[in-house]
Amino acid sequence: MAAKKYYAVMLVDDSEIDNLINQKMIQSANICDVIYVHSGAKSAIEALRNLEKIAKDVPSKILPDVIFLDIDMPLMDGLQFLDQFATLLPQTQQHCRIVMLTSSINPKDMTRSKKYDFVKEYINKPLSKDVLQKLDV
Protein backbone atom coordinates (compact mmCIF):
# COMPACT_ATOMS: atom_id res chain seq x y z
CA MET A 1 0.00 0.00 0.00
CA ALA A 2 1.45 3.36 -1.02
CA ALA A 3 1.79 6.05 1.63
CA LYS A 4 -0.40 9.10 1.39
CA LYS A 5 1.57 12.02 0.03
CA TYR A 6 1.55 15.36 1.87
CA TYR A 7 3.13 18.58 0.75
CA ALA A 8 4.64 19.40 4.14
CA VAL A 9 4.85 18.09 7.68
CA MET A 10 6.10 19.78 10.84
CA LEU A 11 7.96 18.12 13.70
CA VAL A 12 7.69 19.82 17.10
CA ASP A 13 9.83 18.18 19.76
CA ASP A 14 12.40 19.54 22.21
CA SER A 15 14.63 16.50 21.65
CA GLU A 16 17.04 17.18 18.81
CA ILE A 17 17.78 13.45 18.58
CA ASP A 18 14.07 12.55 18.28
CA ASN A 19 13.68 15.27 15.64
CA LEU A 20 16.62 13.91 13.66
CA ILE A 21 15.40 10.30 13.87
CA ASN A 22 11.83 11.27 12.99
CA GLN A 23 13.00 13.48 10.13
CA LYS A 24 15.02 10.59 8.68
CA MET A 25 12.05 8.24 9.12
CA ILE A 26 9.72 10.66 7.30
CA GLN A 27 12.25 11.06 4.49
CA SER A 28 12.61 7.28 4.24
CA ALA A 29 8.83 6.80 4.09
CA ASN A 30 8.65 9.47 1.36
CA ILE A 31 5.35 10.92 2.61
CA CYS A 32 6.09 14.61 1.96
CA ASP A 33 8.16 17.13 0.04
CA VAL A 34 8.97 19.54 2.90
CA ILE A 35 9.73 18.95 6.59
CA TYR A 36 9.63 21.87 9.03
CA VAL A 37 11.50 21.05 12.27
CA HIS A 38 11.09 22.96 15.54
CA SER A 39 12.72 22.17 18.86
CA GLY A 40 10.12 24.18 20.78
CA ALA A 41 6.38 24.72 20.68
CA LYS A 42 6.76 28.48 20.95
CA SER A 43 8.90 28.73 17.81
CA ALA A 44 6.51 26.38 15.98
CA ILE A 45 3.48 28.57 16.81
CA GLU A 46 5.37 31.68 15.68
CA ALA A 47 6.33 29.94 12.44
CA LEU A 48 2.70 28.95 11.83
CA ARG A 49 1.56 32.54 12.46
CA ASN A 50 4.08 33.74 9.89
CA LEU A 51 3.20 31.01 7.39
CA GLU A 52 -0.53 31.67 7.63
CA LYS A 53 0.06 35.31 6.68
CA ILE A 54 1.51 34.27 3.34
CA ALA A 55 -0.69 31.20 2.88
CA LYS A 56 -4.05 32.94 2.41
CA ASP A 57 -4.32 32.13 -1.29
CA VAL A 58 -2.49 28.78 -1.38
CA PRO A 59 -2.42 27.14 2.07
CA SER A 60 -1.72 23.71 0.57
CA LYS A 61 1.64 24.94 -0.78
CA ILE A 62 2.89 26.59 2.41
CA LEU A 63 1.26 25.30 5.60
CA PRO A 64 2.12 21.86 6.93
CA ASP A 65 -0.56 19.25 6.27
CA VAL A 66 0.44 17.30 9.38
CA ILE A 67 2.06 18.47 12.62
CA PHE A 68 3.73 15.81 14.75
CA LEU A 69 3.60 17.29 18.27
CA ASP A 70 5.31 16.13 21.45
CA ILE A 71 3.59 16.82 24.78
CA ASP A 72 6.41 17.07 27.31
CA MET A 73 8.49 20.13 26.40
CA PRO A 74 9.90 23.03 28.44
CA LEU A 75 8.66 26.65 28.19
CA MET A 76 5.53 25.69 26.23
CA ASP A 77 4.33 22.10 26.26
CA GLY A 78 2.27 20.39 23.59
CA LEU A 79 -1.01 21.06 25.36
CA GLN A 80 -0.21 24.77 25.61
CA PHE A 81 0.67 24.62 21.90
CA LEU A 82 -2.83 23.27 21.23
CA ASP A 83 -4.34 26.20 23.17
CA GLN A 84 -2.32 28.64 21.03
CA PHE A 85 -3.07 26.73 17.82
CA ALA A 86 -6.78 27.21 18.56
CA THR A 87 -6.23 30.99 18.21
CA LEU A 88 -4.90 30.71 14.64
CA LEU A 89 -7.06 31.39 11.60
CA PRO A 90 -9.85 28.85 10.98
CA GLN A 91 -8.28 28.01 7.59
CA THR A 92 -5.02 27.11 9.32
CA GLN A 93 -6.82 24.95 11.89
CA GLN A 94 -8.70 23.14 9.12
CA HIS A 95 -5.64 22.61 6.95
CA CYS A 96 -3.14 21.44 9.59
CA ARG A 97 -3.96 18.11 11.19
CA ILE A 98 -2.15 17.38 14.44
CA VAL A 99 -0.75 14.02 15.43
CA MET A 100 0.35 13.81 19.04
CA LEU A 101 3.70 12.00 18.94
CA THR A 102 4.76 11.40 22.48
CA SER A 103 6.23 9.07 25.04
CA SER A 104 3.64 10.20 27.60
CA ILE A 105 1.48 7.42 28.97
CA ASN A 106 -0.62 9.75 31.11
CA PRO A 107 -4.29 9.15 30.17
CA LYS A 108 -5.08 12.78 31.07
CA ASP A 109 -2.76 13.95 28.28
CA MET A 110 -4.61 11.85 25.74
CA THR A 111 -8.03 12.96 26.99
CA ARG A 112 -7.06 16.63 27.02
CA SER A 113 -5.47 16.56 23.55
CA LYS A 114 -8.48 14.82 22.00
CA LYS A 115 -10.82 17.65 22.99
CA TYR A 116 -9.44 19.58 20.01
CA ASP A 117 -10.99 18.72 16.63
CA PHE A 118 -7.69 19.31 14.84
CA VAL A 119 -5.94 16.53 16.85
CA LYS A 120 -6.45 13.49 14.64
CA GLU A 121 -4.15 10.84 16.14
CA TYR A 122 -2.30 10.05 19.35
CA ILE A 123 0.69 7.80 18.77
CA ASN A 124 3.67 6.75 20.83
CA LYS A 125 7.28 7.50 19.95
CA PRO A 126 9.23 6.61 17.98
CA LEU A 127 7.83 7.04 14.50
CA SER A 128 8.19 4.03 12.27
CA LYS A 129 7.91 3.62 8.53
CA ASP A 130 4.90 1.34 9.08
CA VAL A 131 3.10 3.96 11.20
CA LEU A 132 3.84 6.66 8.62
CA GLN A 133 2.60 4.55 5.72
CA LYS A 134 -0.64 3.74 7.58
CA LEU A 135 -1.14 7.35 8.68
CA ASP A 136 -4.37 8.72 7.21
CA VAL A 137 -5.19 12.15 8.59
The answer as to whether 135 is a domain residue is no
**Within a domain: residue 132?**
no
Query: What is the end-to-end Cα distance of the chain in Å, rounded?
Result: 16
Structural domain total, the chain: 1
In a domain, residue 11? The reply is yes
Is 15 a member of any domain? yes
Does 89 fall in a domain?
Answer: yes
Question: Per the domain annotation, does 137 fall within a domain?
Answer: no
What backbone phi and psi angles, to 5 degrees, belong to 28? -65, -40
pLDDT at residue number 2 = 52
Amino acid at 24: K
10-residue block means of pLDDT along the chain (137 residues)? 76 96 94 96 97 78 94 94 96 94 87 91 90 88
> Which one-letter amino acid corresponds to residue 58?
V
State the pLDDT at residue 59.
Answer: 62
Q: Residue 136 domain-assigned?
A: no
Residue from 63, 57, 54, 60 nearest 85 by CA: 63
| pTM greater than 0.85 | yes
How far apart (Å, rounded) are the C-alpha atoms in residues 86 and 65?
Answer: 16
Q: Is residue 131 situated within a structural domain? A: no
Range of the domain at 115: 6-124
CATH, residue 44: 3.40.50.2300
Handedness of CA 38, 41, 47, 48 (dihedral sign): positive
